[in-house]
Structure 1
Amino acid sequence: MKYFTISLACMACILMVSCNMGSDSNVEEEPREEVTFQENKSDNSIDVLIDGQRFTTYRWPKNVTKPILYPIVTSNGTEITRGFPIHPKTGERADHPHQIGMWLTYGDVDGNDFWGNGSHGLGTTNPNGGIIKHLKVDEMSDGAGAGILVTSESWEDSTGQELLKEHTEYHFIAEDSVRIIDRITTLTAGNKAVSLPDTKEGMFGIRVARELELPAQGEVTLYSASGEPEKVKEMDNTSISGDYLSSEGGTGLGVWGTRARWMDLYGNIDGEDISLVICDHPDNPSYPTWWHARGYGLFSANPLGAKDFTKGDTTVDFSIPAHESVTFRYRVVISSGFHLTAEQINGFADDFGKRQ
C-alpha cells in the first residue's frame, strides 16, 4: 500500500481551515473520526461511513457500465452529486444519464467508448461501448481519520474481450468539516498495446447537484414532478450558485479547456457554502491537466483530450504498451459550511503532489 494516513502537511492545512472557521477547540486533542465500510452484497455496493454516517457509496450495479461513487455528501450530509438517473430529483437536469456520481473512464480505448456507454439510460449499452467490470475487493481497511478501499476491475470491449486491467486505491479522509477522496488508478495493458487517442470525452469526472451548476439561459430538459423528463424554455436560476476558480486564476465558464493543477467548483446548497475541488498530480500524464469543466454540472479532468481544448494546436497521442502500466492520481476535497481559499487549496494540492 502506497500510503494510508493523512500527512502532517495535509493535517496542518486542515487545522488552518479549522482555525479560519473560528474554532476555539484544540483539534489535535480531539479524537479522529472513524472511517468504516459496510458491504451490501445484495445490491453490489459498499457504504463508506464516517462516524456511522454515510460519506459515499462505492457501487457496481448491473445497470451501470462502470463502478461509481454515488452519492457523495458533505460532512453536513448534503448531497453534492446529481441524483438522476439513479435517484432523480424534481428540477434536476435529465441529460447524459451515463454521468453518474464520480467515475474514471475514457471515450476512446482502442475504438471503444467507455465514457459515453449507457448514454440512452440505465441498463442500456451502446454498439461500441466499453464496460468496466468490477472483479473483486482486494482490501477494506477501517481507520481513525482515514480508510482504504482497494478494488480490481476489467476494461472490456463490446465483445467482452479485456483491454485493460484496473487496480484502484480509494483513500477516504475525514477531519472536521473537510472530506477528501484520493483515487489512485493503475491501468495495465495485456499482450498488445492499447491506444487512447485524443478526445475530450474523459477522464476523471463528477456530475454535480443542480445547485452547483453555473447559472445559464435557454432551453433545458429537467426531471419533472411527474417523474418524466420535461423541456423547459426558460431556466429558473434562483438556487443555482456554482462558479469555477482555477489554480491559474481562471473563473466561470472560461475555465473549460484550460490547464491548471487544481479546479475549485464552489457554491451554496440550502444555505450551506461548499467547495468541491479536484487536484491533479505532478506524476500524471500531461500535468497540469486540461479541464472538461462545464456549466451544466459536468466537472472533469482530462489529461488526454488536448485537441478539442486547444482548437487543434496540440494533440495527445497516448497509448499503453503491451504489459506496461500507467497510473492516474486525483484528489477531491470537499468543504462544508465555508468556501476554501486558494491558499488552503494549494496546501491540499501540495500535500497530494508529494504522494507517490
Structure 2
Amino acid sequence: MKFTPILSALLLGSLSLSAAAATFTVEKTPTGGAVVKIDGQFFTELVVDQANKPYLWPIIGPGGQTMTRAYPMKTVEGEQHDHPHHRGLCFGHENIGGYDTWAEAATFGESKNPKTAERVKHLGAIKHRELKDIKEGETASFTTVSDYVGPDGKKTIEEVRHHTFKVVGETRLIDIDIDLIATEGDTLVDDKKDSGLSIRVPTNMAVEKEKKTPGTGKIINSEGETDADAWAKRATWCDYYGEVDGKQVGVAMLNHPKSFRHPTPWHVRTYGLFTANPFGTQSLDPKAENGAVTLKKGEKITLRHRFIFHLGDEKAAKIAEAFADYAKEP
C-alpha cells in the first residue's frame, strides 16, 4: 500500500494520539493525605484521618467502575455491612509489638464478650506522620511514613510505605512497597490470620454476597485453585473478578519474589476480603510451623505487591504474563 504524505501524517498523528501516555497528578489534602488523578480524573485518595490506619479509597478501575466496597466510609444500599475495618486498600496486623492494627473499635460494636474486651484493650493504630517524595507525570508516586502505636500513644515500630501509580495498556496499577522497621527495640511480629495487605472488593463482585447467596465473582490463583479452595494457599498471584455495573472487571494482586516469605499465603474470602498474608503461617495452616518472628532493633520486614485493576478475567488481562514481567523488576 502506497501512502501519500498527507495520509502518512494523519496516520502518524493518530498513532501518536493513541499511544499518548496518561498524565498523573497528586494533590495534597488538608488532612495530610493525597488525591491521585489520571488526566484530571479521580483515581484514588489516600485517607489518613478517618480510622486507626491509612487507606486508599475509593479506587476507580479502567472501565470507570469503583473497585472497592464503600462501607463503612459510605452507606450504599445493597452492600454488605460487615467487617468495618476492611477499608478500601489497607494494611493491618493483629499483633505487632502487642497491639492490633487490623481491627478497630467499630469492629466489636457493643459486644460484652470477655474475649472481645481483651482484644479491644490491645487495639493500636498506624499513625500517619509524613507524606513525601511526591512525583507526577507519566507515573505518580509518593512515600508515607507512619508510626505504629499502642492505646497510650507509645510507638512500637515505624513503617515506610512507597506507593506507585501507573497505566499499562488497559490496566491501572498500584504498587505498594512496605518496610516494617523495628526502630524502638526488639519487636514481636506474631503469627496471625488477620494480617496483611488487603483490598475489599465490591459486594456484587464477591463470590458470595451473603452465605449461600451467589455473587458474580470468581477467585483464581497462579496454581489454578479457585474460590474457597484458594484460601490459605501459597501462590505468586491471585485474581478476584466479577461484575460491577454490568461489566466484568477484576483486581489481581501480585507477590514479588523479593517480598517477605514469597510466595505468600492468601487470606482471600468468597465474601470479598482479599489479603496477602505472609505472617499467618500456622494460623492459616495448623500443620505449618509457627511464623512468629522477633525483629531485632534496626531490622525490618519488606513487603512488595502490585495491584492490577483490569477488564475481563485473569486470562483477558494476561495476569500470568504480568507477573512474569513484575518478577523481573529489581
What TM-score, normalized by structure 2, do the two folds share?
0.88
Cα distance change on mapping 1:59 and 1:112 into 2, 3 Å: same
The equivalent position to 2:230 in structure 1, one of 239, 244, 255, is 255
In structure 1, what is the equivalent of residue 148 of structure 2? Answer: 155
Name the CA distance, whole Å, in 2 between partners of 1:150 and 1:256.
31
Name the CA distance, whole Å, in 2 between partners of 1:175 and 1:313.
38
For residue 177 of structure 1, report the CA deviation from its aligned partner: 2.5
2:157 touches 2:184 (CA, 8 Å); kept in 1?
A: no
The equivalent position to 2:122 in structure 1, one of 122, 128, 148, is 128
The equivalent position to 1:50 in structure 2, one of 38, 41, 59, is 38
Question: Which structure has the greater CA radius of gyration?
Answer: 2
For residue 88 of structure 1, report the CA deviation from its aligned partner: 1.7
Cα distance change on mapping 1:27 and 1:265 into 2, 3 Å: farther
- 2:136 aligned partner, one-letter code: D
For residue 311 of structure 1, report the CA deviation from its aligned partner: 2.1
Secondary structure of residue in 1 paired with 2:321? helix
Q: Over aligned residues, Cα RMSD in angstroms?
A: 2.0
Cα distance change on mapping 1:28 and 1:328 into 2, 3 Å: farther
Matched, 1:140 2:140: no
Percentage identity across paired residues of the two chains: 28
Cα distance change on mapping 1:217 and 1:116 into 2, 3 Å: closer
2:32 touches 2:131 (CA, 8 Å); kept in 1?
A: no
In structure 2, what is the equivalent of residue 227 of structure 1? Answer: none
- 2:163 aligned partner, one-letter code: Y
In structure 2, what is the equivalent of residue 212 of structure 1? Answer: 205
In structure 2, what is the equivalent of residue 229 of structure 1? Answer: none
In structure 1, what is the equivalent of residue 7 of structure 2? Answer: none
Matched, 1:110 2:104: no
Secondary structure of residue in 1 paired with 2:152? coil
Secondary structure of residue in 1 paired with 2:235? coil
In structure 2, what is the equivalent of residue 174 of structure 1? Answer: 167
Secondary structure of residue in 2 paired with 1:350? helix
The worse-fitting range, judged by mean Cα deviation, of 316-325 and 243-252 is 316-325
Q: Which runs of 5+ in 1 are unaligned?
A: 1-24, 219-233
Matched, 1:185 2:178: yes
Q: How does 1:82-101 map to 2 (within 5 A)?
A: 82-101=69-88
In structure 2, what is the equivalent of residue 15 of structure 1? Answer: none
The worse-fitting range, judged by mean Cα deviation, of 70-79 and 338-347 is 338-347
Secondary structure of residue in 2 paired with 1:296? coil
Q: How does 1:14-29 map to 2 (within 5 A)?
A: 26=15
Name the CA distance, whole Å, in 2 between partners of 1:154 and 1:293.
27
1:33 touches 1:175 (CA, 8 Å); kept in 2?
A: no
1:32 touches 1:175 (CA, 8 Å); kept in 2?
A: no
Cα distance change on mapping 1:253 and 1:86 into 2, 3 Å: same
After superposition, what is the alpha-carbon deviation per residue over 1:262-320, rounded to whole angstroms, capped at 9, x for unaligned? Answer: 00101111221112100011112221100100011110010010112212433212222
In structure 1, what is the equivalent of residue 115 of structure 2? Answer: none
Name the CA distance, whole Å, in 2 between partners of 1:204 and 1:170.
13
2:242 touches 2:250 (CA, 8 Å); kept in 1?
A: yes
In structure 2, what is the equivalent of residue 320 of structure 1? Answer: 295
For residue 32 of structure 1, report the CA deviation from its aligned partner: 0.1
Cα distance change on mapping 1:135 and 1:31 into 2, 3 Å: same
For residue 176 of structure 1, report the CA deviation from its aligned partner: 4.2
Secondary structure of residue in 2 paired with 1:143? coil
Cα distance change on mapping 1:76 and 1:160 into 2, 3 Å: same
For residue 26 of structure 1, report the CA deviation from its aligned partner: 4.6
Name the CA distance, whole Å, in 1 between partners of 2:16 and 2:267.
37
Matched, 1:344 2:312: no
Secondary structure of residue in 2 paired with 1:349? helix
Name the CA distance, whole Å, in 2 between partners of 1:50 and 1:81.
18
Figure out how many residues of one structure are paired with residues of the other and give that number. Answer: 307
Name the CA distance, whole Å, in 2 between partners of 1:348 and 1:194.
35
Secondary structure of residue in 2 paired with 1:74? coil
1:35 touches 1:174 (CA, 8 Å); kept in 2?
A: no
In structure 1, what is the equivalent of residue 8 of structure 2? Answer: none
In structure 2, what is the equivalent of residue 274 of structure 1? Answer: 249
In structure 2, what is the equivalent of residue 286 of structure 1? Answer: 261
Name the CA distance, whole Å, in 2 between partners of 1:243 and 1:317.
31
For residue 349 of structure 1, report the CA deviation from its aligned partner: 1.4
2:253 touches 2:307 (CA, 8 Å); kept in 1?
A: yes
For residue 45 of structure 1, report the CA deviation from its aligned partner: 3.1
